[in-house]
Amino acid sequence: MSPLDTKLLRDLARIKGQVIAIVLVIAVGVLLQVMMSGLVASLSETRRAYYERNRLADVFAPVARAPEAELARLAALPGVARAEGRVVGAALIDLVEEAVPIQARALSLPDFGEATFNTIYLTAGRLPEPGGRDETLLLTAFARARGIAPGDRLPVTMNGTRRSLHVVGLAEAPDLLYIGVPGEMMPDPARVAALWMRRTELAAAYDMQGAFNEALIALSRDATEAAVLDRIDALLDPWGGTGAYGRSDLVSDRFVSEEIGGLATMARAVPPLFLAVAAFLLYIVVGRIVQSEREEIGQLKAFGYTNTEVASHYFKLVLAVAIAGAALGCLLGVLAGRAMIPIYLTFYNFPFLVFRPDPAAFAIGAIASVAAASAGGIIVLRRVFAFTPAEAMRPPAPPDFSRTITFTGRAARLLDQPTRMVLRGIARQPWRTLALAAGIAGGMALASGMTTIYGAFDRMMDLSFTVIDRSDGTVVFTHPLGEKAALELARIPGVFSVEPVRDVPAILRNGRETHRGSVTGLVDTPEIARAIDARMAPIALPDKGIVLSQALADILNIAPGEMLTVEVREGRRPVLEVPVTKVATSLIGAPAYMRLDALNRELAEPGRISGARLRVDPARAEEIWRLLKDRPTVAGVSVAKDARASLQKLMDQGAGSARYIMGAVAFVITFGIIYNAARIAFTERARDLASLRVIGFSKGEAAFILLGELAVIVLAALPVGSLAGYGLTFAIAAGFSSELYQIPAAFDPFSHGFAASFVLGAALVSGWMVKRDLDRTDLIAVLKSRD
């Protein structure tokens, strides 16, 4: 080992505290890079393999009822490679322990052999026998949540007929990766299900013998999806086609894609922040070492070491820190990624999901760490080349403090000597002070911004269930009924109020921009479920026109006053031209609102409703729900209490715990900055502090002078960091909001206080560690040392 390498090991041991702090900062950045990139790769690759092996269809074309002969015509369309029909229906599962019927999707399996598309993945039991009456497969996630196993009986209502189905197996399917509770969009495995039966059995239940109500289609390699969708719609229009759509509009795939996109965004945006902080810290640390070892550098050069050899010695220190941080980050990233997998399996119905680190993430993390560290070190190492042996062995010129602040008059009387020394110390090095404050403010901004975003889910839940939709439950009918149905609901004992609604599936178009969704008809002056503006005030629905949510207006690139084309996909399926009158605030989904009577008038179906929202007596709620599930015209009931509990569970298991992760992130960044700054200040001023102790200053006064500067900088950085975090909140909210959900950005005092507590905690720990070393200082040894 060369003498310089021996010196390198001694230097690392001497500044081990600072090295550990910088290594942790680098490690957190690489951890996030490896974990998030690995999750993106794992989710993307698992989804791709699952879709490919189980042959997920490229296009889904729902219809009211089409004869089997139409499948041949579909397959003959230009751009279509293959086509298959299946039967899909809504069902209700009536469990004895549940007052509310559980909504389910019933899907057909071929009588013989495997399906051409969307083949199931059997996780337990066996397939239903061909011709096996009342045999069914059940969605694995629902079965596990309810403790149902192959061999159990399941009471199900299908098309108004009660049946007792024999569960023979558990399964999953590629088009059901994500399955939310109808009308809620949030996953709850215990409250939503899917079941599969042989085609003949299911066709008989839904009066689909010799027909299908959903076509599954594979596109040829050279097909243009938009053109093929138009051809499919034209062909199926006479049979009640509601509009074909591709994978990108499949609800299941959209949710997974949004999650992958969010992770990819975080992987690109967050790690560079940590690496920039690490580069800044290394710049300070290496700069201090070079400055304090001027004489040694001069002696090395005088004994024949070249500029390159001396600079390489200090550059090796930088590389050692960077490589150690990258290695630790890679290891922790893999462990963190594996710990996240069970959470994703809770929300997504993957048959398997294994964390596979992205090899590129290791390379990017290591290279970026070395590059960032090198950038911080190289700037300092220029001084090494500039030193000549004679110049380096001379003590540096003392700093010029002639322009420092002075205290006279009342300020001199009010401020004691240690306080004045603290303030002068801050004023003497303004650039270092600003850089240190900026680093601390950056850690505060990241923590407060991200914590506010996660706290916004609390506000989203409160607004959704107390301002926008104040119902206790929502009833959905099997088909549009007359307004008499709402009156019948109002006569149920315990029902306080009823508001009828009508949801009409539609394709909304504005030029080239389109959206597949629905239009919701509300009463003239709704009190239970309302459209609200940005000030949370209810919007009066116009007699003519439509109110769009902000998310939908952004998707369609449309503003109030412009005309919107609404292609209704129900009943006579008219094409409407309606003006956009206002834009509403929405938090979940992308709804569009019209007055109920105006919507029915446009459809030429006066007095029709598809459901109702209820306010009920809490003491009689369970009795009401049990009564409703016995009515044949009720397709489902969504209880607000259960919906809120599902959303709360999602927050507690996912977003809620992330608040503390971001708090820890802020702690690591702030600790790394403050501890290094405190250690460097201690090293630079050890002789001055020892002199103060000798002339009569106490340990506490000496510590106050050293750490008081850092305390002032930290306290000054907190409001700056809070302000920056406030701005960062809006940027993050805009980046992560989508059609599926919108994040309400606002100032959250709790989140900013929560972030500030972590920053102050890091400062206190750093200060305590430095003060401990200060109290142990050997005054005689320090005073004998040369500058």
Predicted confidence (pLDDT) per residue in 654-701, tens digit? 544 555 566 566 667 777 777 777 777 777 677 777 777 777 777 777
What is the C-alpha separation between 440 and 718, in angstroms, rounded?
A: 8
What pLDDT, on the 0 to 100 scale, is given for residue 109? 94
Query: Do residues 722 and 752 touch, judged by C-beta distance below 8 A?
Result: yes
Which residue type sits at 57?
A: A
User: 85 is written with which tokens?
Assistant: 């029909």
**Strand ranges (DSSP E) for 631-692?**
634-639
Q: Is 121 exposed, middle or buried (0-12, 13-18, 19+ CB in 10 A)?
A: middle
Task: Write the CA distances from 339 to 305, 330, 355, 490, integer angstroms.
Answer: 50, 14, 9, 49
What pLDDT, on the 0 to 100 scale, is given for residue 476? 87
pLDDT tens for 560-603 read 989 999 988 887 888 899 999 998 887 777 889 999 999 998 88
| Non-local CB neighbours of 70 within 8 Å, separated by 6+ positions | 85, 215, 235, 236, 239
**For residue 256, what is the enclosing H or E element?**
helix 251-269
Which residue type sits at 175?
A: D
Model confidence at 787, pLDDT cuts 50, 70, 90, reads: very low
Percent of the chain scoring above 90 in pLDDT: 23
Query: Do residues 539 and 580 touch, judged by C-beta distance below 8 A?
Result: no
What pLDDT, on the 0 to 100 scale, is given for residue 23? 84
What is the C-alpha separation between 343 and 349, in angstroms, rounded?
A: 11
Residue 744 has pLDDT above 70, yes or no: yes
| Beta-bridge partners for 103 | 92, 192
pLDDT tens for 1-26 read 678 878 878 878 877 777 887 888 88
Which residue type sits at 379?
A: I
Mean pLDDT of 263-286: 74
| Beta-bridge partners for 107 | 88, 196
CA angle 30-670-382, nearest 5°?
A: 70
Domains of the chain: which residue ranges?
A: 88-207, 429-468+640-787, 495-616
pLDDT tens for 430-458 read 777 787 788 788 778 877 887 787 777 77
Query: Do residues 91 and 158 touch, judged by C-beta distance below 8 A?
Result: yes
For strands 513-522 and 592-595, give the pairing: parallel
pLDDT tens for 93-132 read 888 777 787 888 999 999 988 888 999 999 999 999 988 7
